């Protein structure tokens, strides 16, 4: 069946009181920009609902896929529009709709009508009863169950009538841009794009930072991070990616600090840089893909020490309690997995000790970092001043 209209269902936004319109408008804007390349669409709010209407030919699956990337959308209902609302014609069209939409006509259902047009000759209850009767008459195996129906046939009568009964699930969450902005540390692995997705889902706009260490990491590894940012941007909207050349800082750490602490100290410097970038770019948080115990730098003790590098913004770690497989499941759902596992050389392993500390103590790490004083400041400045910015969308 060709649908011209989709009803968009959203849940949490409805509870936002007077700010509700702000949330709705942000979501509509996002839908408009995502739908623009697919044809001529109108996204409109009316009577407290959001409708998408197509004014040109479009590919149904493509449109559903795109709507499923807009946070805030809980469900997408393909709607049949009935122009002639004279009751007899109207009932016939609803029966047609059921006929086309369901192959086995042996389920329980109820009709749920709303009447915006109060001059319509039948009231909601009468529409429910009469349409229900018309359906049963045509398909005798179907049964009405007003308490626990398998299918609810929704009808809205206005100047035209809308019929819908199927709800295609959306991603849920809150529209991106309604909850400030965060700076995600993208590594090129599986976890960080998932972390970015999860925070974006709560309405947070995303910027990203990648630490590039040529010649220890390759141009392809950098390209891969850009590709990942682009994939996340399908959900999170355009992402400004900051690429920091980290090599000299890394070498300075290698030259001056104990090797079993290299990763911890390196991560603390990365966090500091991310925090500086967050503040410069109006972000209120840093986002990482860490999960407790996954590797030596993600033990509870390591995280505690690394976390203390940031004193001005919180670090959000949405994957913290997830198992690797759970993270992989999400990355497959959002389509970043295949890119994440591309095996480009990551020679940063040069800088990973064979036996790194797993229970670091803050005072020891801070003592080791003293050796960097006077040596790292200039390199830190240079790295921050030579950032390459890539806009990913």
Partner 1 sequence: MEAYFDNAATTAVNPKVKELMFKLMDLDFGNPSSLHMKGVDAEKYIKEATKRIAKELKCSEKEIVFTSGGTESNNLAIIGSALARRRYGKHIITTAIEHASVSATTEFLSKEGFEITYIGTDNKGYIDLEALKNALREDTIIVSTMYVNNEIGTIQPVEEIGKIIKAFNKDIYYHIDAVQAFGKMKISPNNCKADLISISGHKIHGPKGSGALYIRDKLLIRPIIYGGGQQHLMRSGTENVPGIAGMGLAAELIYKDNEKKMDYVKSLKDSFIERVSKIENVYNNSGDAPHIASVSFVGIRSEVMLHALEERKIYVSAGSACSSNKPHVSNVLKAMKLDKEKLESTLRFSFSDTNTMEQVDYAIDVINELVPKLRRYVRK
Q: Which is nearer to partner 1, 133 or 342 (CB)?
A: 342
Q: Which of residues 3, 87, 107, 351 is near partner 1 by CB under 8 A?
A: 351
Q: Which is nearer to partner 1, 105 or 259 (CB)?
A: 259
CA atoms within 13 A on the CB side of 127: 26
294 three-state secondary structure: coil
Q: Which of residues 32, 45, 49, 259 is near partner 1 by CB under 8 A?
A: 259
**3 is an interface residue for partner 1 by CB under 8 A:** no
324 three-state secondary structure: helix
**219 is an interface residue for partner 1 by CB under 8 A:** yes
Specify the pairing of strand 388-392 against strand 239-245. antiparallel
Q: Which is nearer to partner 1, 160 or 353 (CB)?
A: 353
Residue 141 has a CB neighbour count (10 Å cut-off) of 9
- Cβ of residue 290: shortest distance to partner 1, in angstroms? 23
Task: Name the residue among 278, 260, 273, 282 with its Cα closest to residue 351.
Answer: 260
Q: Which is nearer to partner 1, 216 or 380 (CB)?
A: 216
Q: Which is nearer to partner 1, 16 or 375 (CB)?
A: 375
Hey, which residues does 241 pair with through a beta bridge? 208, 390
Q: Which is nearer to partner 1, 144 or 353 (CB)?
A: 353
**371 is an interface residue for partner 1 by CB under 8 A:** no
Q: Which is nearer to partner 1, 147 or 354 (CB)?
A: 354
Alpha carbons 261 and 266: distance in angstroms, whole number: 8
Helix (H) or strand (E) holding 300: helix 300-307
By CB under 8 A, the residues from 311 to 340 that bind partner 1 are none
- Cβ of residue 210: shortest distance to partner 1, in angstroms? 16
Cβ-based burial of 209 (10 A; exposed 0-12, middle 13-18, buried ≥19): buried
Which part of the chain contacts partner 1 (CB under 8 A), choosing from 35-43, 86-94, 212-220, 295-303?
212-220
Hey, which residues does 132 pair with through a beta bridge? none
**343 is an interface residue for partner 1 by CB under 8 A:** yes
By CB under 8 A, the residues from 227 to 256 that bind partner 1 are 251, 254-255
Q: Which is nearer to partner 1, 248 or 276 (CB)?
A: 248
User: In terms of residues, how long is the chain?
Assistant: 393
Contact call for residues 189 and 290 (beta carbons, < 8 A) = no
Q: Which of residues 64, 344, 362, 387 is near partner 1 by CB under 8 A?
A: 344
**295 is an interface residue for partner 1 by CB under 8 A:** no
Q: Which of residues 85, 108, 124, 218 is near partner 1 by CB under 8 A?
A: 218
Q: Which of residues 64, 353, 387, 390 is near partner 1 by CB under 8 A?
A: 353
Alpha carbons 333 and 367: distance in angstroms, whole number: 44
Residues in the interface with partner 1 (CB under 8 A) total 22
Phi, psi of 327 (to 5 degrees): -65, -45
Q: Which is nearer to partner 1, 217 or 331 (CB)?
A: 217
Task: Name the residue among 230, 231, 267 with its Cα closest to residue 246.
Answer: 267
**350 is an interface residue for partner 1 by CB under 8 A:** yes
Question: Taking CA 318 as the corner, what is the angle to CA 266 and CA 285, rounded to the nearest 5 degrees?
Answer: 65
Q: Which is nearer to partner 1, 263 or 288 (CB)?
A: 263
Residue 16 has a CB neighbour count (10 Å cut-off) of 14
Q: Which of residues 282, 338, 345, 381 is near partner 1 by CB under 8 A?
A: 345
- Read off the DSSP letter of residue 202: B
- Cβ of residue 279: shortest distance to partner 1, in angstroms? 31
Alpha carbons 71 and 169: distance in angstroms, whole number: 11
Spacing of C-alpha 9 from chain mean position: 17
- Cβ of residue 222: shortest distance to partner 1, in angstroms? 11
- Cβ of residue 213: shortest distance to partner 1, in angstroms? 10
344 three-state secondary structure: coil
Binding site for partner 1 (CB under 8 A): 214-220, 251, 254-255, 259, 342-345, 347, 349-354
């Amino acid at each position: 069946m060709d649908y011209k209209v989709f009803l968009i269902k959203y849940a949490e936004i409805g509870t936002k009181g007077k700010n509700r319109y702000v949330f709705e408008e942000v979501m509509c804007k996002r839908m408009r920009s995502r739908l623009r390349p697919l044809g001529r669409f109108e996204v409109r709010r009316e009577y407290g609902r959001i409708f998408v209407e197509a004014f040109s030919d479009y590919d149904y699956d493509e449109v559903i896929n795109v709507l499923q990337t807009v946070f805030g959308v809980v469900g997408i209902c393909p709607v049949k529009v009935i122009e002639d609302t004279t009751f007899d014609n109207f009932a016939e069209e609803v029966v047609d709709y059921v006929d086309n939409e369901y192959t086995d006509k042996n389920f329980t259902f109820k009709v749920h009508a709303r009447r915006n047009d109060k001059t319509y000759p039948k009231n909601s209850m009468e529409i429910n009863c009469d349409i229900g009767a018309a359906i049963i008459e045509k398909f005798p195996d179907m049964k009405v169950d007003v308490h626990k129906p398998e299918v609810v046939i929704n009808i809205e009568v206005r100047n035209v009538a809308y019929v819908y009964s199927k709800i295609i699930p959306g991603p849920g969450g809150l529209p991106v841009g309604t909850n400030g902005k965060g700076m995600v540390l993208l590594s090129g692995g599986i976890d960080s794009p998932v972390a970015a997705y999860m925070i974006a889902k709560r309405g947070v706009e995303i910027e990203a930072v990648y630490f590039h260490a040529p010649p220890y990491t390759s141009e392809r590894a950098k390209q891969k991070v850009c590709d990942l940012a682009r994939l996340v941007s399908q959900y999170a909207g355009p992402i400004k990616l900051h690429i920091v050349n980290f090599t000299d800082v890394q070498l300075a750490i290698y030259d001056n600090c104990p090797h079993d602490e290299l990763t911890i100290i390196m991560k603390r410097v990365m966090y500091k840089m991310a925090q500086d970038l967050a503040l410069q770019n109006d972000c209120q948080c840093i986002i990482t893909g860490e999960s407790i115990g996954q590797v030596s730098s993600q033990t509870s003790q390591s995280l505690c020490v690394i976390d203390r590098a940031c004193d001005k913004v919180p670090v959000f770690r949405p994957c913290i309690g997830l198992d690797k497989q759970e993270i992989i499941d999400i990355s497959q759902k959002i389509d970043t997995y295949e890119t994440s596992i591309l095996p480009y050389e990551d020679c940063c392993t040069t800088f990973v000790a064979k036996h790194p500390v797993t229970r670091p103590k803050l005072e020891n790490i801070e003592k080791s970092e003293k050796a960097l004083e006077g040596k790292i400041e200039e390199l830190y400045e240079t790295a921050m001043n030579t950032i390459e910015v890539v806009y990913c969308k």
